[in-house]
Amino acid sequence: MASSSSSSSVLMSRLTREYHQLLLSPTEGISAYPRSDDNLTSWQAVLLGPSDTPYAGGRFHINIAIPNRYPFEPPTVRFETRVYHPNVDSAGLICLDVLHLPPKGSWKPSWNIGSVLTAVQLLLSHANPDDGLMAEASELYLRDRAAFDALAREWTQRYAIGNTSAKLDGPAAATERLASDDRKEDGGSPTAKRARLDTTAHNGGGTDAVVAAAATPAAAGGTAATKDAKDESPPKLVEQKHEHKQEQQEQQEQEEEEEEEEEGWWD
């Protein structure tokens, strides 16, 4: 019983850390968050269709189910938004090596939710019709690429662009705003946002608290949070940077321990 409780605690700690990392270092075109603070094993994600593909401009909703043995078992990842793709079936299931354990797949505990979503987004740009789930889409992709692109673009327009339910909401909107602000050269302060997120995560704030920190406006000359970040003395900034570096080092050590545990498990 104690072992089960300890395993659950390790899992929750890992998922909380991954979520904080996604907020602190967002990947362009990817938003992901737990559906609630009460259940960190159920996630929602939104992928933006890559440019120069038939999926450009689309917002694709993804459902992520985390198993109890994560990260020693991969998450179950499924498209909730319909997408015409050789490697995605009608139920949204995805044919991707990293979503399966060896020897059939290539999942390793060093993978995480963020890297999995990056792989899924890359799959939209580089399909693998030779190992497809949808025979018709795979055959069309190989035989007539222009016709395939036209049909995939039509589906994107119908289900991922024209569908108003695919708009970001709640925590996803907060994470996308954070990523957008990080890409801006003026207006808002990514440094101030990161400072608030670092502080919230360091103090043990839950997902709702971290999302609230991410969503807080930080326009130049606007909130007190931004002013405080700008007025911080150099020693405090150095201290904060040191704390963040220490957290990164602890995360790396924990990942190394998990890999060692995985090697023992496989043996």
pLDDT (tens digit per residue) in 172-216: 444 444 444 444 443 444 444 444 444 444 454 444 444 444 444
254 phi-psi bin (left φ>0, alpha ψ -120 to 50, beta other) = alpha
Same domain flag for 155 and 208:
no
- Identify whether 232 is a catalytic site residue: no
pLDDT (tens digit per residue) in 221-238: 333 333 333 343 344 434
Catalytic residue among 24, 95, 99, 134: 95
Q: What is the pLDDT of residue 94?
A: 97
For 242, the domain range is 172-266
Same domain flag for 213 and 96:
no
Same domain flag for 177 and 236:
yes
Q: Domain with 44 in it: what CATH number? A: 3.10.110.10
Tokens in use for 201? 């995560």
User: Given 141, 168, 195, which residue is the final one in a domain?
Assistant: 168
| C-alpha to C-alpha distances, 30 to 10, 50, 108, 114, 143, nearest whole angstrom | 25, 11, 21, 8, 31
Same domain flag for 129 and 56:
yes
pTM score = 0.65
State how many domains the chain has.
2
